[in-house]
Structure 1
Amino acid sequence: MSVVGFDLGNQSCYIALARAGGIETIANEYSDRCTPTCVSLGEKQRVMGVSAKNQMISNVKNTLHGFKRLLGRKFDDPLVQAEKVHLPYEVVKFQNGDAGIKANYLGDAEEFSIPQVVAMMLTKLKETAEANIGRKVVDCVLSVPNFYTDTERRALLDAAKISELNCLRLMNDTTAVALAYGIYKQDLPAPEEKPRNVIFVDMGHSALQVAACAFNKGKLKVLATSADPTLGGRDFDRVISNQFAEEFKKKYKIDAKSKPRALLRLLAESEKLKKQMSVNANLLPLNIECFMEDIDVSAKMKRADFEEMAADLLKRIEAPLRQVLADSKLKKEDVESVEIIGGSTRVPAVKEIIKKVFGKDPSTTLNQDEAVARGCALQCAILSPTFRVREFAITDVTAYPIKLTWKSSMEEESEMEVFSKNHQAPFSKMLTFYRQEPFDLEAVYIDPKSLPYPNPYIGRFTINKVTPNPQGESSKVKVKIRVNIHGVLTLPSASMVEKLPEQPEGEVNGPEPMETDQTEDQKKTEAGEEQNADKQNEQQANPEQNQEAAMETDQTEAPKTENDDDAARATPEEEKKENTDAKNGEKKAEPQSKKSKKQVKMIDLPIDIHVNRFTTGQINLAVEKEGKMIMQDKQEKDRIDSKNSVEEYVYDMRNKLYERYEKFISEKDRETFSKLLDDTENWLYEDGEDEKKQVYIDKLASLKKLGNPVVNRYQEDELRPKAFEEFGSALQQVRKVLDLYAQKDEKYDHIPEEDMKKVEKALKEKQKWYDTKLNAQNQLAPHQNPAVMSDQILTEKKNLETVCNPIINKPKPKVEPPKDDKKEEKKEGESGDAKPEGAATQPEQEQQPQQQQQQQPQQESKSQEDMDLD
């Protein structure tokens, strides 16, 4: 199982992996841990990340960036219309009203949905992670802004499915940062002690997010969140670029805003200047060569001027900071520290505002760029069964209050708040309705004015197959509503409660529904709790009284990690809770009386869900399209690699023909080959610029047909002398052995003469071959093909050794030492007269049975002792 965390930002992305040694932020193919959130569509392929960003100026209308802001939104959305002005590519309206992007891909104009484009970026991050860990990546945790609504979160989950990623959790940026901060802290207060309160401020490229968190040992609880979704570093960049655009208009008579390429260059230079002003308060220059109409432009700005121009933006920072204090009910003195992340928090004016609001200097203990990705990887490790992670419970919150609306039996509109602002999440609630027929529940956000989204509508949920009870009255329907681990509102289950006939205690007729026996005290306690629940939380939907659904007392806090809708783990307590919430089978639902048992069974009801997200068919089509694009990218990469191989060979050989390989090719052949290389180079940049892969393969093969002999002659000139030297040494060694044998050397006198004749014959043959080939090679020029190859020489050497070595290395036979006759006679004298065989051992044989008889009783008594001990 892969353990990967992706921080998908509006401007840049980061990837973190959980390894045995901890969390590591990995680098892309350019050895950069920051990957730009950029997709460039071309005539032959698409590129993402750094390569795409490099094409922002050259392929301006087909290079997509800033698209994350459009995720899950309609074309007529005010935010989309505002963003559209600053985007160089075309934003279009789909038939369902969603915003999309139109761009040229493979020579044709195509329209892409925003989740498709986000999926392209996720595919790039996935490939980078797979290249680093060497295996397929499937499971991951994705970061998401804490102000995202239900529709935007569902759209991001759709994008993950299109890129074939299994998102275990959508994790709020600030929550991920808090996890990365708290899980390594060893000095957190004990669970029963007062928590440590920390404020996290994340100001990135396009948004400001704030969260107040309470830490105890092994526990993180988010108290409140706030945000400004339209305030980030890019707004400061635009302030600077607008100032320079006006200045250039007056000074150079050019309008930078009229040309997308010029505006993009100006924004890039403005961002660089902003970063320089963050560390230098002096007057700093801005210079751009050939900006427009071959005009070089220059200007200057200092930090004080920038802060004055951005005063309105800086004032907006205070509101979310003060809002999070108010919602969390914390005072300045209750806050232990203020942790800042995000590139825009490096601006000195931003730090000053944070210090002013919270009364303390902001802390930078976390990596301001990589903290979110690291927190996501930690969450993925917690959810993964392959890693053992320190126990750490995480409780998040819902950003906006949610209510349910429905029509009563009198066709009157009723509503009820189910989740308040900053309500803990994940969280489940059980609602009770009284109905005789199917009914609809609509979920909406309560306060549209505080919502950074024009439509407060979340979705409609239809509860089907509701029928009257056997008495013809309204049936009791229990509906479970939940904000799941992704922060998405769901209706996991709905059940109809059917009462069974009452039976006297002890009487059993047929199979009995599932129930749990209770003591008298337990019955009283449960009855009291149910009565209190009826008073406080439950408004029963009675047609006569016109009272509708309400929350029951079986609400429980969701565990730190759970399995609700999307493959995350659940604690045993949560599983027990889920099982008792009327999913399958027959379960007890009413308190028991003393004389009879009220028995019920739960009937699962189907739910139709109507929310703003892709259908299964749409996702399948998008997955198929993404697969085709991935295949096209791979084919184009292989084609370009083949082309580059030809180009590389041309440059490499042309230089070496007049240097390293000069003496290994004739003058005539060199001129011919050199001309062919020049012609190939010209062909590459003209007719051969856009050929198929096989054409480049054939072209390279034709070049190597002429070039390989030259290269081989060079290589043989390096290897052949050494091979001849080794072969000559082997011949000399065999000759030396033959000379010693002729001199009757005792080292070889054990070898038969006929074997040595075989050695002598082999030596003569190989010596003759050696002399012939050496003389032939010495008569050839370096540019001529060699008379013999180095591998042939080594083969002949091996053949010689195969024949000769077993003979000349044959070991001498071992000689047994002669027997000493005197010692044999002495041994016979000591033994005295000869006795019949076996006579000397007869007394010993007679003694052995006696000894055995003496030992046997001891062994028997010992075994008896052992048995007694046992």
Structure 2
Amino acid sequence: ESPCLLLMRRCLKWRFHGRAFNDPFVQKEKEKLSYDLVPMKNGGVGVKVMYMDEEHIFSVEQISAMLLTKLKETAESNLKKPVTDCVISVPSFFTDAERRSLLDAAQIVGLNCLRLMNDMTAVALNYGIYKQDLPAPEEKPRIVVFVDMGHSAFQVSACAFNKSKLKVLGTAFDPFLGGRNFDGKLVDYFCAEIKSKYKLDPKTKVRALLRLYQECEKLKKLMSSNSTDIPLNIECFMNDTDVSGKLNRSQFEELCADLLQRIEMPLLSLMEQTQLKVEDVNAVEIVGGATRIPAVKERIAKFFGKDVSTTLNADEAIARGCALQCAILSPAFKVREFSVTDATPFPISLLWNTEAEDTEGVHEVFSRNHAAPFSKVLTFYRKGPFELEAFYSDPNGVPYPESKIGKYVIQNVAAQKDGEKSKVKVKVRVNTHGIFSVSTASMVEPVKSEECEDVSVETEVEAQDQRPIENFKPPSEENKIPDTNEKKGDQPPEAKKPKIKVKNVELPIEANLVWQLGKDLLNMYIETEGKMIMQDKLEKERNDAKNAVEEYVYEFRDKLSGPYEKFVCEKDLQGFSALLAETEGWLYEEGEDEAKQVYVEKLEDLKKLGTPIEMRYQEAEERPRLLQELGHRLQYYATIAGEFRNKDEKYIHIDEMEMMKVEKCVSEVVEWMNNAVSAQAKKSLDQDPAVHSSEIKAKLQELNNVCEPVVTQPKPKVDSPKEENPLSEQSDYKTEDMGEDDKNSEMPQQNGECHPSDQNTINMDLD
């Protein structure tokens, strides 16, 4: 089975995926972090940390892989089975570079990411799959707008619902507006107040600033449900100084007025993209922690002119949507069918160079909010290899400094045998992860045959758009696309041409992407992650061994002054107590960080003294019960032997020799038991016992094995004498045809006084 894994993001490391270290966003966020960011050799973002007492630099992909490893272990621990499949949610504004980087992180861990799912699509799936009142497919769809303001981003989407069907109509976002921005306003306010009131600057100490952020976040949540003044108190904030302050909701909204104004922009953008009116929206669902702020909720409700709905779990809606999507895609779960059609967040275009002239051709292959996943087939006429460059058509609308997606070189293209240009079909695709790619390329080679019909081997798995590309700028002969709408009937009559059979020859594609980990680097990360996972296991075993010693010390020390006190002599008690105290001190000093084997040996040394004491206590608890049980069995078998000697009918069927075995065994065990009890009575509690529980159990088992089969012998069956029935030969006599009265009067009665035939003889007068 392949259980699903749900993932959500709050940590900003997710926002560093696919970005260069010199990215303006990274440099801006770098100042607010408590850890150090450094450049990697490939120009990416690295995090400097101390690992195994050494300084290491890990890439963002590796850091995310560590988080995924922990989530994987947690899921496996709860599910009690291995986790292989997962669905990971990403902001809908993530670009191809960011998505590919996150997929690399999943690959490092060994997770099979079935889909990178946009946050708002996951929310919509969570909403729609449980709705039983959705309109039928042929009816007008229900339009629902989903609004999500989480920790660091604001996203909105409009979705159309029909029964078992969901289509994302459009998305809009503000990638830099979220709950942390509201927290930042509070932090700035209290930093200024603390500086003027206490002459302390929290921004000079990272630890103090982090504490202030935590308290401000709590204050923000309290103000969401209270309009009165809310106090803020932090003990030993800086230089052992306690600080305090207060704020109310009205003051908070004034501080955040500029942030609240930014809420309407994505909403307006969404309505313009989808050409929807406010009246067309049937419901507005809000999720995300920051939507609990009353002012945020009011702004959204005011824009749509209706109350917002909070039927979804604000914190778990995305994770639940991912879980449902993973269950749908995974063969291990059976989920009712639900079609999900996502939307492409940014328009994507292709650029290429022409052969005849020094000009470029460009075409927008996927418009904004185009259905995804989706494939298109483009046709080119070339004599040699050529290059395609993919880029985002609207760089200003993409929250990423680089508009290029990548370059793709179509290789092994050659002219036809007659020197004409070859027809090359290129398939471009936005896959289920929302990533663009030139997936396949093939060269069409004609094979003349007068008897064959036209054949074109074109099999497309996903929905495709094979309409001709129009409006190339400038148009060129080599890129001319034949008019597929041209009808054969419009052609002038000509001499019959030989029919042509074509075959498609697959062409290799060399991809140069803006951001992609090389295979060697990725393999190195996978190997490093495996080593760290193994090191974590070894470290866990070491800690478990250390904890076992610590637990043994505390547990035994308490029992020595309690239940174990009577079972150890004064001399041994003093020596063992001293050893326990010595071990405790060692654990917190030079034994703080030792190897696993050292702790194992320490525990063995303690058990050499502790195990005999523990054994004596357990023997004293268990021995009386077993002796009592043995005595009861002896009495039981002795009673049966006595009844046998008294000729009791219950045991008269037992053989004399077998019963003698029982009596002999009982006698021997009684003698052994008396000797054992007598020997044990001479021993004190702090001495090893004269007889052990295991010996008593063995004697009890021996007694039962000898005696039980004898005394439980069943009596032999005695066959009763058969009686002749004179009516058995009268085949015409059938009792089943008689009524109850007839049976009682005509059936022969046997009362034991005479033979049945005597009573059935009837004397008749024939006169």
Q: Write out per-residue CA displacement over residues 165-194 of structure 1, whole angstroms, 9 at most, x where no aligned residue.
A: 111111100011011111121211222222
- 2:394 corresponds in structure 1 to 447
Q: Is 1:604 paired with 2:506? A: yes
Please state how far the C-alpha of 1:397 moved relative to its aligned partner.
1.1
2:309 counterpart letter in structure 1 = S
Please state how far the C-alpha of 1:308 moved relative to its aligned partner.
0.7
SS in structure 2 of the partner of residue 462 of structure 1: strand
When normalised by structure 2's length, the TM-score is 0.88
2:161 counterpart letter in structure 1 = F
| In structure 2, distance between residues paired with 1:246 and 1:700 | 56
| Conserved? CA contact 1:191–1:217, under 8 Å | yes
- 1:567 corresponds in structure 2 to none
| Conserved? CA contact 2:155–2:172, under 8 Å | yes
Please state how far the C-alpha of 1:789 moved relative to its aligned partner.
1.4
- 1:4 corresponds in structure 2 to 4
Please state how far the C-alpha of 1:69 moved relative to its aligned partner.
1.5
Q: 1:763 to 1:301 in 2, by over 3 A?
A: same
| In structure 2, distance between residues paired with 1:437 and 1:595 | 28
- How many equivalent residue pairs? 711
| In structure 1, distance between residues paired with 2:130 and 2:655 | 81
Q: 1:291 to 1:540 in 2, by over 3 A?
A: closer
**5 Å matches for 1:561-710?**
596-611=498-513, 612-710=515-613
Q: Write out per-residue CA displacement over residues 745-783 of structure 1, whole angstroms, 9 at most, x where no aligned residue.
A: 444455554444433332332222111111121222222
| In structure 1, distance between residues paired with 2:632 and 2:319 | 64
Q: Is 1:771 paired with 2:674? A: yes
- 1:348 corresponds in structure 2 to 294
2:663 counterpart letter in structure 1 = E
Q: Is 1:465 paired with 2:421? A: no
| In structure 1, distance between residues paired with 2:31 and 2:480 | 46
Q: 1:603 to 1:779 in 2, by over 3 A?
A: same
| In structure 1, distance between residues paired with 2:482 and 2:16 | 36
- 2:142 corresponds in structure 1 to 196
Q: 1:681 to 1:721 in 2, by over 3 A?
A: same
| Conserved? CA contact 1:314–1:350, under 8 Å | yes
| In structure 1, distance between residues paired with 2:270 and 2:55 | 46
Q: 1:147 to 1:764 in 2, by over 3 A?
A: same
SS in structure 1 of the partner of residue 423 of structure 2: strand
| In structure 2, distance between residues paired with 1:816 and 1:116 | 85
**5 Å matches for 1:26-41?**
none
| Conserved? CA contact 1:427–1:483, under 8 Å | yes
| Conserved? CA contact 1:214–1:221, under 8 Å | yes
**5 Å matches for 1:63-78?**
66-78=12-24
- 2:96 corresponds in structure 1 to 150
- Structure 2 unaligned regions, length at least 5: 458-464, 486-493, 730-767
| Conserved? CA contact 1:537–1:553, under 8 Å | no
Equivalent residue in structure 2 for 1:282, among 211, 222, 228: 228
1:152 counterpart letter in structure 2 = E
| In structure 2, distance between residues paired with 1:540 and 1:430 | 19
- 1:260 corresponds in structure 2 to 206
Please state how far the C-alpha of 1:793 moved relative to its aligned partner.
1.4
Q: 1:757 to 1:268 in 2, by over 3 A?
A: same
- 1:714 corresponds in structure 2 to 617
| In structure 2, distance between residues paired with 1:283 and 1:751 | 94
Q: Is 1:393 paired with 2:295? A: no
Q: Is 1:135 paired with 2:81? A: yes
| Conserved? CA contact 1:538–1:552, under 8 Å | no
| In structure 1, distance between residues paired with 2:109 and 2:484 | 41
| In structure 1, distance between residues paired with 2:336 and 2:483 | 34
| Conserved? CA contact 1:432–1:540, under 8 Å | no
Please state how far the C-alpha of 1:607 moved relative to its aligned partner.
0.7
| In structure 2, distance between residues paired with 1:315 and 1:306 | 14
Q: Is 1:759 paired with 2:662? A: yes
- 2:185 corresponds in structure 1 to 239
| Conserved? CA contact 2:184–2:213, under 8 Å | yes
Q: Write out per-residue CA displacement over residues 652-704 of structure 1, whole angstroms, 9 at most, x where no aligned residue.
A: 11111111112111222212111111111101101111111111111112111
- Structure 1 unaligned regions, length at least 5: 12-65, 517-528, 555-591, 831-870
| Conserved? CA contact 2:363–2:472, under 8 Å | no
Q: Is 1:434 paired with 2:378? A: no
**5 Å matches for 1:61-140?**
66-140=12-86
| Conserved? CA contact 1:443–1:459, under 8 Å | yes
The answer to which of 183-192 and 146-155 deviates more is: 183-192
- 1:371 corresponds in structure 2 to 317
- 2:364 corresponds in structure 1 to 417
Q: Write out per-residue CA displacement over residues 379-430 of structure 1, whole angstroms, 9 at most, x where no aligned residue.
A: 1222223333322222111111111111111232221211111122111111
| Conserved? CA contact 1:3–1:377, under 8 Å | no
| Conserved? CA contact 1:130–1:136, under 8 Å | yes
| In structure 2, distance between residues paired with 1:798 and 1:6 | 55
Q: Is 1:727 paired with 2:674? A: no
Please state how far the C-alpha of 1:359 moved relative to its aligned partner.
1.1
Q: 1:764 to 1:307 in 2, by over 3 A?
A: same
| In structure 2, distance between residues paired with 1:550 and 1:167 | 38
Please state how far the C-alpha of 1:738 moved relative to its aligned partner.
3.6
| In structure 1, distance between residues paired with 2:435 and 2:482 | 19
| Conserved? CA contact 1:433–1:540, under 8 Å | no
| In structure 1, distance between residues paired with 2:432 and 2:663 | 86
| In structure 2, distance between residues paired with 1:459 and 1:752 | 97
| Conserved? CA contact 1:431–1:552, under 8 Å | no
SS in structure 2 of the partner of residue 687 of structure 1: coil
The percentage of counterpart residues that share the same residue type is: 54
| In structure 2, distance between residues paired with 1:288 and 1:429 | 60
| Conserved? CA contact 1:180–1:371, under 8 Å | yes
Please state how far the C-alpha of 1:728 moved relative to its aligned partner.
1.4
| Conserved? CA contact 1:538–1:549, under 8 Å | no
| Conserved? CA contact 1:5–1:375, under 8 Å | no
SS in structure 1 of the partner of residue 479 of structure 2: coil
| In structure 2, distance between residues paired with 1:761 and 1:5 | 68
Q: Write out per-residue CA displacement over residues 817-863 of structure 1, whole angstroms, 9 at most, x where no aligned residue.
A: 7x79xx99x99xx9xxxxxxxxxxxxxxxxxxxxxxxxxxxxxxxxx
Q: 1:284 to 1:764 in 2, by over 3 A?
A: same
Q: Write out per-residue CA displacement over residues 305-355 of structure 1, whole angstroms, 9 at most, x where no aligned residue.
A: 111111111111111111111111111111111100000000111001101
| In structure 2, distance between residues paired with 1:116 and 1:788 | 61
| In structure 1, distance between residues paired with 2:601 and 2:549 | 10
| Conserved? CA contact 2:5–2:83, under 8 Å | no
Q: 1:752 to 1:460 in 2, by over 3 A?
A: closer
SS in structure 1 of the partner of residue 83 of structure 2: coil
Q: Is 1:497 paired with 2:444? A: yes
| Conserved? CA contact 1:207–1:230, under 8 Å | yes
2:691 counterpart letter in structure 1 = V
SS in structure 1 of the partner of residue 328 of structure 2: helix
| Conserved? CA contact 1:540–1:550, under 8 Å | no
| In structure 1, distance between residues paired with 2:581 and 2:717 | 73
| Conserved? CA contact 1:404–1:415, under 8 Å | yes
Please state how far the C-alpha of 1:722 moved relative to its aligned partner.
1.3
- 1:736 corresponds in structure 2 to 639
| In structure 2, distance between residues paired with 1:70 and 1:540 | 37
| In structure 2, distance between residues paired with 1:142 and 1:613 | 19
| In structure 2, distance between residues paired with 1:5 and 1:765 | 66
